[in-house]
A and B are shown apart, each in its own frame.
Chain A
Amino acid sequence: MNFLRRQLPLLITFAMGVVFACQYYVPHPVSELLLTTVTKWLQIIGGFALVLGITSLFHLHAGKIRRKEPGWGYSGVLYASMVGTILVGLGYSFSFQQWILGKETIDGVRTMFGWIYTFMMVPLQGTMFAILAFFIASAAYRSFRARSREAAVLLVAAVIVMLGRVPLGEYLVPISGDATQWIMNVLNASVRRAILIGISLGAIALSIKIIFGIERAYLGGGRE
């Protein structure tokens, strides 16, 4: 039993890791088919992972409602909107005489599910991200004061890019457009490249540790 609980998962990780690391170097139709198949499999398994996440969300808010914690009504709103969207998205539409099954439009006509997307999700998502502009600006005011040379450089770069991204900025400071292009395509690209190389080296090291069973945190703790 200990083998099934501890050694078997490590063995599966090792076998899968080695097989798919080698797959890249085998230019054969069978190898390509293996990659296509496993990619599809991972998408299917990912769907089950979503079930785990949603169940966890349900559990959390059900607890809040059961215990009548402060703000439990909002959990009810969350439940209602989630279940409502699912029912509308998967349910039967009498006006279209067919099952909606995630279709936002049918023959060019917007479904109720499409209505939820257009008039609820898009405004909510857009505004939620838009208000971050105010908080970023407020945080910037507090932290960007040019206390050191490095902070001054950061501030100047940020101002140039902000000016260069809008027509008014280019009108006021004509060089800001070109300067922004240069900062983004050359200076920013070089830093991103260096960071990407560093992250990649770390990811490879982590993958090797996982394949050889040195890193086991993904298996979780517990008595089993």
Chain B
Amino acid sequence: MPFETLLGAWVATGLTLFILTFLYKDNPLFKLAEHLYVGVSVGYTVVKTYDTVLVRLIYMPIAEQGEWSLLIPIGIGILMLARYFPKVAWLSRIAFAFIVGVGSGLAIPRIISSFILKQVEDTVRPLFYAVEGGGVTFTVDLMDPASNLNAVVLLIGVVSVLFYFFFSVEHTGPGRAVARTGILFLMIAFGAAFGYTVMARMSLLIGRLRDLIVFADPQYGRPSLWLLLTTIGLLILWTTRQTERSPDGS
């Protein structure tokens, strides 16, 4: 077993257990792991940004292809940093104006096309299909999202939820029934989103527990076992000291 893998197993196990101690209560071990997480994540982002932006988007195009026009976004980017110098802080507004202006301009047609027209097109589908030789057919297969029955359900859902969020008309009479239907759809969707999120988190938890089981193997030196005992010991020590400091336990 290479030393780096062995060390990695111990570090990964320790950090996993430190984070899990938060299930007991907020404590120094969790805080340590939490700050490590922020530090490592920021450091990782900086390194990746350096590689993507500075090397691949700036240095290589300028040095290898002579794309000197890239000095313009560099200049705009430097203007952003003017915020740190009060006398010229207003210069950063030019950079923000550029970003926000471009972003707004790009957003309008693309949102209309992808998020409004496309969504409406997918919602307003034929309720019946014509069959060869005359007549119509209505498919009721619930498992097929493209069936006619599901098309009707989708249409009712979209219209009722949109109506629920449309406050220019008072929700009374028939409008109340439509709004209530909208609430029903919303509740089902929130419930589904909740269930989906819980199971996704459970999947992550299973992954972490699986690692703890793997690292309990003697070939790694049983870090899961030893570090679990150490963590519990440290928590007991910390709780005892806390209780001694404030006998009322507050």
Chain A residues close to B by CB (< 8 Å): 4-5, 8-10, 12-25, 35, 37-38, 40-52, 54-55, 57, 71, 74-75, 77-86, 89-90, 101-102, 110, 113, 115-134, 136-137, 140, 150-151, 153-162, 165-166, 178, 180-201, 203-204, 206-208, 210-211, 218-220, 222, 224
Contact = CB atoms under 8 A, between A and B. Distances in A.
9 contacts: A9-B97, A23-B105, A44-B73, A119-B11, A121-B41, A133-B202, A150-B183, A178-B143, A197-B119
B119 to A, nearest CB: 5
Contacts of B20: 127, 131
A13 to B, nearest CB: 4
B217 to A, nearest CB: 16
Given A9-B96, A74-B31, A207-B107, 9 more contacts: A13-B104, A19-B105, A44-B58, A85-B42, A157-B188, A190-B189, A191-B185, A204-B112, A208-B108
B15 A181 contact: no
B35 A78 contact: yes
Contacts of A22: 105
A9 B184 contact: no
Contact of B57 (A44, A115, A126): A44
Contacts of B100: 13, 210, 218
The SS class assigned to the B binding surface is helix
Given A187-B153, A190-B161, A211 B96 contact: no
A187 B188 contact: yes
Interface string B43-70: 1111111111111011000000000011
A46 B42 CA distance: 15
B116 A187 contact: no
B105 to A, nearest CB: 3
Interface residues of B, number: 120
A178 B7 CA distance: 45
B241 interface: no
B115 A182 contact: no
A124 B80 contact: no
Contact of B197 (A120, A136, A220): A136
A153 B98 contact: no
A216 to B, nearest CB: 10
A17 B123 CA distance: 30
B225 interface: no
A89 B143 contact: no
A133 B201 contact: yes
A194 B161 contact: yes
Contacts of A17: 101-102, 104-105
B212 to A, nearest CB: 10
Contact of B94 (A12, A86, A186): A12
